[in-house]
Amino acid sequence: MTLIEGVFAAAITPTKTDFSPDIEAIPGFLDFLAHRGCHGALMLGTTGEGPSFSPEQRQEILRTALRVKEEHPSFQLLAGTGTPSLDETICLTRQAFELGVDGIVLLPPYYFRNVDEDGLFIWFLHVIRKAVPAGCLVLGYHIPPMTGIPLSIDLLARLKDTFPDQFAGLKDSSGDPNHARKLGERFGKDLWVFNGNDSHFSLALEHQAVGCITAPANLISPDLRHIWDSHQAGKADLQTQESVNRNRVIIERYPPAPPLIKAILARKFQLPFWSVCPPLRSISQELVDRVLSELEIT
């Protein structure tokens, strides 16, 4: 398996005022992320408003995103493909691999929240058997605050045992530092864990995480990259981690993330002021001013 590791942005999706994806803007935005230290990006995740786009739009977004590899061959692209529909998830996953993504990040079927682990296992089993070719990589997406469906450590172990060459890891967006520790204690490096909460990045790395995939990485990837590079050199950059913590707390005060991040990208980095898809709404310039006065972004 090709190792996937490092700093990944849970990338926003450039969007026009008619709520369609701004296809031509995608490679340029990914180039921006690459130049700011990202090893890769997750397309069509929560921050990328993945569920807001049709299957056809998703396919076009991914096809265009892959053009970033023309300038940045080592830049890795992940795709969010999970939906409540088993059949649609299989189709989206299969298409993503056919296009050439480096891996997929798979939400659990988030509509029915009271299912048991056997039901979840069967769902993942069918997706992987029918849509994930040998040698292709799946990361589970553990974000119970959003989905209401946790991926327990026992379920992860069962999936890893059943699909050792395909079920590669987990995006852990639980926001629970104890969960980060438990994942490291149970799996070590056998399960590739990506931290989904910037405030816990250093802690997760200490417990065998292989990187991060976060929304603030759209804005603060140089700091996250510095933490990553320091860890690779056997050091802990606590000062930069404290700065990341402060920024994360500020961003969390103004949910949801996509409108805020798009507005800050436009004001701070002179990128287009991209729209968001309903029910999300763009934020006011006054709120952008307030947040920018609080954030520490270089």
Domains in the chain, start-ordered, CATH in brackets? 6-236 (3.20.20.70)
> What does the block give as tokens for 55?
């299957």
H or E element in which residue 171 lies = strand 167-172
Per the listing, tokens 């605050």 go with 145
The phi, psi pair for 251, rounded to 5°, reads -60, -40
The set of catalytic residues is 46, 111, 141, 171
- Spatial separation of the C-alpha atoms in residues 247 and 298, rounded to whole Å: 12
Taking 70 as the pLDDT cut, the residues of the chain under it are 1
Instruction: Please tell me whether the peptide bond between 51 and the residue prior to it is cis, using omega within 30 degrees of 0.
Output: no
**CA 37 from centre of chain:** 16
> pLDDT value at position 113?
86
